[in-house]
């Protein structure tokens, strides 16, 4: 069986696939490379995690960061495009709380947002939407 982190990442990818702005351009890896023609796109990956339980071993409640990176072309609608993607991502995750994520995580909430313009060679920008997830790990 897959690790809970993998299941959570896959659930995010599945939930975010088919959004109006990014369509099927959702990649479940921070290492995904895509061409400028494939933008707008999303990357989904899990980052840092900490144990919230003082039990010994690997069992217990774990909190992790789920990162959703949204890439758009840097043009006159750059900020509007990022805002629209943020709205779509938040709505999709919120709608899936009681279905897709109900049996998978103990809690899931929006944490923060970081927006940056990438270097001029790439002519793109991104925002990093961070969610915090708590799940129960039993080995």
Which domains, and CATH codes, for the chain?
4-137 (3.30.70.1700)
Query: Residue 70: which residues within 8 A CB-CB, separation 6 or more?
Result: 22, 40, 41, 42, 82, 85, 86, 89, 126, 127, 128, 129
- Rounded Cα distance between 1 and 3, Å, is 7
> What is the pLDDT at residue 35?
80
Please give the pLDDT value at position 119: 61
Q: What is the pLDDT of residues 19-57, one digit of tens each?
A: 999 999 999 998 888 787 889 999 999 998 888 766 556
């Amino acid at each position: 069986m897959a690790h809970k982190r993998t299941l959570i990442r896959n659930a995010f990818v599945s939930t975010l696939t088919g959004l109006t702005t990014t369509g099927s351009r959702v990649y479940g890896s921070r290492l995904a490379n895509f061409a400028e023609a494939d933008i707008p796109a999303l990357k989904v990956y899990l980052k840092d995690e900490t144990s919230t339980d003082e039990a010994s071993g690997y069992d217990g409640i774990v909190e992790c960061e789920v990162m959703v990176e949204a890439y758009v072309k840097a043009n006159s609608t750059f900020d509007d495009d990022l805002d629209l993607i943020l709205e779509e991502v938040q709505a999709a995750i919120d709608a899936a709380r009681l279905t897709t994520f109900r049996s998978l995580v103990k809690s899931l909430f929006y944490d923060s947002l970081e927006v940056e313009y990438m270097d001029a060679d790439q002519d793109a920008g991104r925002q990093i939407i961070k969610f915090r997830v708590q799940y129960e790990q039993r080995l």
